Structure 1
Amino acid sequence: MRTERNPTRLDRVFARLDREPERPAHLSVPRASRHRTVLVVAALAFYLAIVWLVVTTSWLVRLDWQVMFFRPYQQWASIHWFVDYYVVLGQRGPTAVMVAAWLGWRSWRQHTLRPLLTLGTSLLLLNITVGAAKYGMGRLGPHYATVIGSNEMGMGGDIFPSGHTANAVVTWGILAYLASTPRARRWLSAISAVTSLGVGMATVYLGTHWLSDVLLGWVAGLLILLALPWFEPLIARTEVYAFDLRDRWRARGGVRAPAPVTPVTAPAPARLKPLTAPQNETAAREAVAPPRGPRTPIHLSPGPHTSRSERTPVTPVGSRRPPHSDRLVRGTPSSATRPLTGG
């Protein structure tokens, strides 16, 4: 007796995925609303406030030095190994590969390039804005500080704002930004917020960033996520252009170009004498038929042999024997034609 295998949870998951071959109709695209504009302005004001507090060597700089002298990596040395691995979640290379693999699978399943194009746009904005701020302000890190109590600005460093923190906010926050349902967006927003918060505090624990670097990194990443709806029209036009380019490439590769035709110049027709009807038909056939080359001897092979039953019966007319003058035709008396001899 044969029994069918009960479907496992993995089988049910793949069966559910097979029912979604096209882009979901309920997939919403965030828009640049008035509420989002207010959040962008508030985040930008907070960004400038942090920069001003660091440039003027205010209480925020003194807090940076106090945290640095506290040396968290020595106070809680038992978790150092875990923090070393956890901080990788903020490195641009590994996180970009992981998130790009997931979004690439989504793009293939939903037949759209929007997830990958949105990730590429966010990473491009991150490199431009954060990179320009890093090299523009040139702040040194805690391990390379020269004067106690100074802000270490303009010393040729590249840690302000924190790239690990900003990258964690953007890379993991893009999953919440591209979520298909409000529930998934809330859950992914909470997970990305906790992840980016942990990455920022991990850099402070390891002593690679000041606390103000982490604060500015959080705001820098949040600004990029809030500004992405303004780039949605550009992303949509890029997607349409990419699909049009693919269709043209497929059409060009599927149709062969016609072979060049060499024009043949016909000779001028000669004036001919008027012909009769049979001669006209013969001349017309000769004009249509291509010119023939010299004839070669043709050796005809014997035709297919047919059996006697397949041949058409033919009734012979007359005698098959050759005529002989000395023979008599049947039915005539022999005495009439036989010569008489004496005796």
Structure 2
Amino acid sequence: MRTERKPTRLDRVFARLDREPERPAHIDVPRMSRHRVVLFGATLAFYLAIVWAVLDTSWLVRLDWQVMFFRPYEQWSELHAFVDYYVVLGQRGPTAVMVAAWLGWRSWRQHTLRPLLALGVSLLLLNITVGAAKYGMGRLGPHYATEIGSNEMFLGGDIFPSGHTANAVVTWGILAYLASTPRARRWLSALSAVTSLGVGMATVYLGTHWLSDVLLGWAAGLLILLALPWFEPLIARSETRILELRDRWRDRRRATGLRPAGAPVVLTPLSGRDDAPAREPVGAGRAGGRPPAYLAPGPHTTRAERTPVTPAGSRRPGPERHHPRGTSPAGRP
């Protein structure tokens, strides 16, 4: 008696994935709603307020110095090994590779390029805005501070805002932005917020960033996520253009009739007529035709039709060709 195998959890996961062979129709593209515009404006005001507070050497700069002198990496030294690994979640290279791998698999499953294009646009905006702010304000980090109590601005540094924090907000927040259901979006938003918060505090713990750097990094990353709906038309046009180029390339390959190496060549009649003679393949026989150019003019017979001829005389050289050992033959005339 045969019994059916009970499906495992992995079988159920793959069965659920197989039910999604094409782009789902229920995925809604976020729009720039009034609520999002208000959040964008409030975040931008918070961003400018932090910059002004640091430039003015206000209480925020004094708080930066107090945290720096507290030296969290010495107060809680047992956490140092864990924080060294956790802060990697904010590095641009490893996080971009992990998220791009997941979004690439999702693009392949759903037959859409939007996840990868949205990630590319967000990372491009991150490099432009955060990089320009870093090198424009030129703030030095805690380990390179020159004067106690100063804001360390415009001294050639690249620490303000925190790139680790902004990258964590954008890279993990894009997963929530591209979520297909509201419930998944809420859970992923909370998870990305906790992850980016932990990355920012890890940089403060290690002493590589001021506290104000982390606050500005959070605001910079959130501004990019809130502004992404403005770039959705560009993402849609880019996806359409790329798919059109792919289809055109496929049609061109089919039209040119590419064949595998070693396939026989089929020659069609000349001038498109059915009664036209076919072109003779290269290397075919030339019976009754013009002899090749390397043969002398005149009648030629095949090797089988020729009469064998026995040479007369001996094949051994004559006595005049033999010379005593040690002597040299006479010179030719």
TM-score by length of 1: 0.75
Q: How far apart, in 2, do the equivalents of 1:254 and 1:289 lie?
A: 27
SS in 2 for 1:20: coil
Q: Do 2:138 and 2:159's aligned partners in 1 also have CA atoms closer than 8 Å?
A: yes
For residue 296 of structure 1, report the CA deviation from its aligned partner.
Answer: 4.8
Label 1:146 to 1:247 Cα distance change in 2 as closer, same or farther (>3 A).
same
SS in 2 for 1:14: helix
Q: How far apart, in 2, do the equivalents of 1:111 and 1:213 lie?
A: 40
> Residue 42 of structure 1 corresponds to which residue in structure 2?
42
For residue 3 of structure 1, report the CA deviation from its aligned partner.
Answer: 2.8
SS in 2 for 1:229: helix
> Residue 248 of structure 1 corresponds to which residue in structure 2?
248
What per-residue deviation string (whole Å, max 9, x for no partner) do you get for residues 201-242 of structure 1?
Answer: 000000000000000000000000000000000000000000
Amino acid in structure 1 at the alignment position of 2:7: P
Amino acid in structure 2 at the alignment position of 1:201: M
Q: How far apart, in 1, do the equivalents of 2:92 and 2:223 lie?
A: 18
Residue 32 of structure 1 pairs with residue 32 of structure 2: yes
Label 1:295 to 1:158 Cα distance change in 2 as closer, same or farther (>3 A).
closer
For residue 4 of structure 1, report the CA deviation from its aligned partner.
Answer: 2.6
SS in 2 for 1:157: coil
> Residue 106 of structure 2 corresponds to which residue in structure 1?
106
Label 1:140 to 1:295 Cα distance change in 2 as closer, same or farther (>3 A).
closer
Q: How far apart, in 2, do the equivalents of 1:44 and 1:188 lie?
A: 23
Q: Do 2:43 and 2:223's aligned partners in 1 also have CA atoms closer than 8 Å?
A: yes
> Residue 141 of structure 1 corresponds to which residue in structure 2?
141
SS in 2 for 1:156: coil
Amino acid in structure 2 at the alignment position of 1:116: L
SS in 1 for 2:27: coil
> Residue 283 of structure 2 corresponds to which residue in structure 1?
none
> Residue 190 of structure 1 corresponds to which residue in structure 2?
190
Aligned residues: 269
SS in 1 for 2:21: coil
Label 1:2 to 1:43 Cα distance change in 2 as closer, same or farther (>3 A).
same
For residue 38 of structure 1, report the CA deviation from its aligned partner.
Answer: 1.3
What per-residue deviation string (whole Å, max 9, x for no partner) do you get for residues 272-304 of structure 1?
Answer: xxxxxxxxxxxxxxxx887xxx9959xxxxxxx
For residue 2 of structure 1, report the CA deviation from its aligned partner.
Answer: 3.2
Q: Percent identity?
A: 84
Q: Do 2:28 and 2:180's aligned partners in 1 also have CA atoms closer than 8 Å?
A: yes
Q: Do 2:270 and 2:276's aligned partners in 1 also have CA atoms closer than 8 Å?
A: no
Label 1:137 to 1:289 Cα distance change in 2 as closer, same or farther (>3 A).
closer
Label 1:289 to 1:228 Cα distance change in 2 as closer, same or farther (>3 A).
closer
> Residue 203 of structure 1 corresponds to which residue in structure 2?
203
